[in-house]
Amino acid sequence: MKRDAFIKEINQLFRVHPAIALLGPRQCGKTTLAQMYAETHQPTKRFDLENPEDLLLLENPMLALSELEGLIILDEIQRRPDLFPVLRVLIDQHKENKKFLILGSASRDLIRQSSETLAGRLAHIEVTPFSYWEVREINKLWVRGGFPLSYLAPSEFDGFNWLKFYITSFLERDVPSLGINVPAATLRRFWMMLAHYHGNIFNASEIGKSLSASTTAIRHYIDILVGTFMIRQLQPWVENIKKRQVKTPKIYFRDSGIFHSFLGIKSQEDLFHHPKMGTSWEGFALEEIIRFHKADPEDCFFWAVHSQAELDLLIVKGGKKIGFEIKYTDAPKITKSMHIALETLHLDSLTIIYPGKQSFSLSEKIRVMGLEGYLKE
């Protein structure tokens, strides 16, 4: 599947930056995307840092990389963070004849060397699993999630099995490869418990008691899953008002397929009969809306006043405040909570997202839109 939007973004950023990092979860399509880009950019040399032969070639990285020209791809950079200082030297010496495409399965926070040693030289693109604007099949994407090998599997059962083994591989191989020393069984129990907090306030103390772990340990575990693109930690927006506002983040699984895997949901029929269906749809819709707006994590919030009002998603970008309420219902209506959010936060607009097909206005600043219709705008 051609991922034209990402190709276009890479081309744009290479006009200014000598190096681009494609960051995203394992198996989301980073390598395939890099290969697509490389097809039209010669000469190209790719190093897979999980391949022992390529690692051997990079025993002396300055010698191995200094003679190369054109596009140089370094795949799974988190396995060799010591390469970043070398890249800085090579970029400064050869700005005109070398471009680096760096692929990593961890965020900038986990790969700290990239932001420290390549500041001003490196641009970042977050590569996500498939989104609606790429596949145009909303129910299939919701049920299976966007990881290519799950979404493109011959059947729902095959997709479910792939996700099950993906989770095991992530816990037993990928997390330790980042130098993180947390037992796989412990992180699995924590991750499974998060399935019951999906779309809710993250209570580290409560989870810690259930797992017999300290609050510090629980915060470390959530940092791991956020930093590897598995969990979204949605921060609270705090307005300058006297009312008591929620100041603890919410958590969401970023891929609906992985969320369903932890719940044992194997098919669309299972999903439609599951008590977590509404919560699942909320998280799926929220993630798609954020991707549609190309909003960074620091642009995205929720807002809530204890026992009075709340807003599922607030995107603050380009000088505007855009609010979203996400409802799994056939007939969305204006509520008192929505009026409070609109007035208190001075929203430019408030969109109620629901699974239907119709779009209509409920007031001057409040409109109802089906998720699919919104994503097609």
Percent of the chain with pLDDT over 70: 98
Mean pLDDT (whole number) for 87-98: 84
Query: Are 140 and 174 in a shared domain?
Result: yes
Q: Band the pLDDT of 1: cuts 50, 70, 90.
A: confident
Give the number of domains in the chain.
2
Mean pLDDT (whole number) for 19-42: 92
Mean pLDDT (whole number) for 267-290: 97
Q: Among residues 78, 94, 126, which one ends one of the domains?
A: 126
pTM listed for this prediction = 0.93
Query: Are 88 and 136 in a shared domain?
Result: no
pLDDT 10s digits, 98-150: 899 999 998 877 676 665 778 888 999 999 999 999 999 999 999 999 999 99
Q: Among 87-101, 309-323, 331-345, which stretch is predicted with the lowest mean pLDDT?
A: 87-101
Task: State how far the Cα of 334 lies from the Cα of 15, in Å rounded to an integer.
Answer: 47
Mean pLDDT (whole number) for 272-297: 96
Are 78 and 111 spatial neighbours (Cβ–Cβ below 8 Å)?
yes
Mean pLDDT (whole number) for 236-258: 94
Q: Among residues 126, 151, 186, which one ends one of the domains?
A: 126
Are 330 and 356 spatial neighbours (Cβ–Cβ below 8 Å)?
yes
Rounded to whole angstroms, what are the CA distances from 304 to 196, 231, 311, 348? 20, 21, 6, 18
Query: Are 152 and 81 in a shared domain?
Result: no
CA atoms within 13 A on the CB side of 187: 25
Rounded to whole angstroms, what are the CA distances from 263 to 143, 251, 258, 276, 352? 12, 16, 9, 9, 27
Phi, psi for 248 (deg, rounded to 5) = -115, 140
Q: The domain that contains 67 carries what CATH number?
A: 3.40.50.300
Query: Are 55 and 200 in a shared domain?
Result: no
Query: Are 141 and 95 in a shared domain?
Result: no
Q: Among 52-56, 82-86, 232-236, which stretch is predicted with the lowest mean pLDDT?
A: 82-86
Query: Are 313 and 352 in a shared domain?
Result: yes
Q: How high does pLDDT run on average in the chain?
A: 93
pLDDT 10s digits, 167-199: 999 999 999 988 899 999 999 999 999 999 999
Give me 224's structure tokens.
């791991």
SS3 for the chain is CCCHHHHHHHHHHHCCCCEEEEECCCCCCHHHHHHHHHCCCCCEEEEECCCHHHHHHCCCHHHHHHCCCEEEEEECHHHCCCHHHHHHHHHHHCCCCEEEEEEECCCCCCCHHHHHHCCCCEEEEECCCCCHHHHCCHHHHHHHCCCHHHHCCCCHHHHHHHHHHHHHHHHHHHHHHCCCCCCHHHHHHHHHHHCCCCCEECCHHHHHHHHCCCHHHHHHHHHHHHHCCCEEEEEECCCCCCCCECCCCEEEECCHHHHHHHHCCCCHHHHHCCCCHHHHHHHHHHHHHHHHCCCCHHHEEEEEECCCEEEEEEEEECCEEEEEEECCCCCCCCCHHHHHHHHHCCCCEEEEEECCCCCEECCCCEEEEEHHHHHCC
Phi, psi for 106 (deg, rounded to 5) = -150, 155
pLDDT 10s digits, 203-240: 999 999 999 999 999 999 999 999 999 999 999 999 98
Task: State how far the Cα of 292 lies from the Cα of 302, in Å rounded to an integer.
Answer: 17
Q: Among residues 94, 110, 126, which one ends one of the domains?
A: 126
Rounded CA Rg of the chain: 22
Instruction: Give the β-pairing of 250-253 and 200-201.
Output: antiparallel
Query: For residue 108, with 0-12 CB atoms within 10 Å meaning exposed, 13-18 middle and 19 or more buried, which class applies?
Result: middle
Residue at token pair 């399965």: 105
Q: Find residue 320's DSSP bridge partners.
A: 317
Query: Are 190 and 261 in a shared domain?
Result: yes
Task: State how far the Cα of 228 lies from the Cα of 242, in Å rounded to an integer.
Answer: 37
Query: Are 189 and 324 in a shared domain?
Result: yes
Mean pLDDT (whole number) for 308-328: 95
Query: Are 231 and 97 in a shared domain?
Result: no
Note down the domain range covering 30.
Answer: 4-126
Query: Are 100 and 240 in a shared domain?
Result: no
Query: Are 174 and 93 in a shared domain?
Result: no
Q: Check whether 247 has a pLDDT greater than 70.
A: yes
Residues in contact with 174: Cβ distance below 8 Å, sequence separation at least 6, in sequence order: 26, 105, 228
Query: Are 113 and 202 in a shared domain?
Result: no
